[in-house]
């Protein structure tokens, strides 16, 4: 009995704590398994950003050039990848290759992570035995695409931010500030100037219908998005974007650059021309280029040349038509199109720089005019206080 009475308190508590610790361990294990299952479910439909795909492609091309087997390359990339979903994708691709599946067939199981251009280039690399070289080319293509996209987004960030700020500022003035002035002016008992009265009417309308305006705005935006996803809506959207007064020229040049770069990269890598046209069409995301690729495919199948279709298609400028014609004559279509893509990339950079320098003062003037007009409309009765207040002379 003395032995039991002198025992340390912890020795009697430990049997009661052991089940609790086991339960906590089981909960952590279950949470880890649930998280892993969730990641694996996401892997099937995971859309890998083009920037990450460019880094992955460049890394695997470098490792293959160093002489490492493909499975070891994927194992090394799996360990250093921080994205947990992409890590699962690389693991599954490596497992498929280890079991005897080709690299191209393995990446095709994840079409949203590896786009059609990547899978087609992998197929061409496996067929030609120059996988590292071809992946290096496609990595350079991805990097140039990402670089151009970042420049466009950077140029768009400032105007979008200023416009959003202007909308927020105008709504704050109309909903919260104008009613205060309206109460002040109502005590005058005289008619207000037309700009002031219109501003007060707009303010009253917003304050009493703001909820419906938000609901209708969301519904209109949802309906617009659904419409542009239809074939007719996509066509109308792409035609309108290319014809837009300020950004239309830039978007047109970006589409031409992407067409020329993608076509040149695929042809140089040995991809058949009909398959090249399919990939170019899918990668363009422009109905004008999709229509052109369909026409070119039919024409080439009948023994014609690409330049003959480009010559009658108004979407493609004369320079591209002449460059493709010269490439067909000299047997260097890919080289000519690469030079064309470089030219349009330079043009895009110059256009972005010009738009950036032009948009900034225009937006400042726009914001000043909008806010200034509101302020002037509200101070008109004060400027004409004698008339409004009933002739205080």
CATH superfamily, domain at 136-393? Type II secretion system (T2SS), domain F (1.20.81.30)
Question: What is the secondary structure of 110-170 as a DSSP string?
Answer: -TTTS-HHHHHHHHHHHHHT-HHHHHHHHHHHHHHHHHHHHHHHHHHHHHHHHHHHHHHHH
> Whole-prediction pTM value?
0.74
Please state which CATH number belongs to domain 50-114: 1.20.81.30
Percent pLDDT > 90 in the chain is 20
* Tens-place pLDDT, residues 322-380: 999 999 888 888 899 989 998 998 888 888 888 878 887 888 888 888 888 888 888 88
* Tens-place pLDDT, residues 77-126: 988 888 888 999 999 999 999 998 999 899 998 988 898 888 888 888 88
How far is the C-alpha of 28 from the C-alpha of 19, rounded, in Å?
14
For the chain, the structural domain boundaries read: 50-114, 136-393
DSSP state of 281: H
CB atoms near residue 284 (< 10 Å): 20
């Amino acid at each position: 009995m003395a032995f039991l009475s002198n025992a340390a308190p912890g020795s009697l508590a430990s049997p009661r704590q052991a089940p609790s610790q086991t339960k906590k361990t089981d909960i952590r294990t279950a949470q880890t398994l649930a998280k892993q299952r969730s990641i694996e479910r996401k892997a099937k439909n995971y859309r890998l950003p083009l920037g990450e795909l460019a880094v992955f492609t460049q890394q695997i091309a470098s490792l293959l050039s160093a002489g490492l087997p493909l499975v070891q390359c994927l194992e090394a990339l799996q360990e250093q990848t921080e994205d947990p979903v992409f890590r699962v994708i690389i693991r599954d691709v490596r497992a498929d290759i280890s079991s005897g599946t080709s690299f191209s067939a393995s990446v095709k199981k994840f079409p949203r992570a590896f786009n059609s251009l990547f899978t087609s280039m992998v197929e061409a690399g496996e067929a030609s035995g120059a996988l590292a070289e071809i992946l290096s080319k496609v990595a350079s293509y991805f990097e140039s695409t990402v670089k151009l996209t970042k420049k466009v987004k950077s140029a768009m960030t400032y105007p979008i931010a200023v416009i959003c700020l202007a909308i927020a500022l105008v709504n704050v003035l109309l909903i919260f500030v104008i009613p205060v002035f309206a109460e002040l002016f109502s005590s005058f008992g005289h008619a207000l100037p037309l700009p002031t009265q219109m501003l007060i009417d707009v303010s009253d309308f917003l304050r009493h219908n703001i909820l419906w305006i938000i609901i209708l705005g969301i519904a209109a935006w949802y309906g617009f998005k659904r419409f542009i996803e239809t074939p007719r809506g996509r066509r109308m959207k792409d035609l309108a974007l290319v014809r837009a007064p300020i950004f239309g020229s830039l978007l047109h040049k970006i589409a031409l650059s992407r067409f020329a770069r993608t076509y040149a990269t695929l042809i140089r890598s040995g991809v058949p021309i009909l398959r090249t046209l399919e990939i170019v069409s899918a990668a363009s995301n422009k109905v004008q280029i999709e229509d052109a690729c369909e026409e070119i495919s039919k024409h080439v199948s009948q023994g014609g040349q690409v330049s003959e279709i480009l010559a009658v298609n108004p979407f493609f400028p004369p320079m591209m038509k002449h460059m493709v014609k010269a490439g067909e004559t000299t047997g260097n279509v890919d080289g000519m199109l690469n030079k064309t893509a470089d030219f349009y990339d330079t043009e895009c950079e110059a256009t972005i720089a010009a738009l950036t320098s032009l948009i900034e003062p225009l937006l400042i003037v726009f914001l000043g005019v909008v806010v200034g007009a509101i302020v002037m409309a509200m101070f008109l009765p004060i400027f004409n206080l004698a008339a409004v207040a009933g002739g205080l002379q």
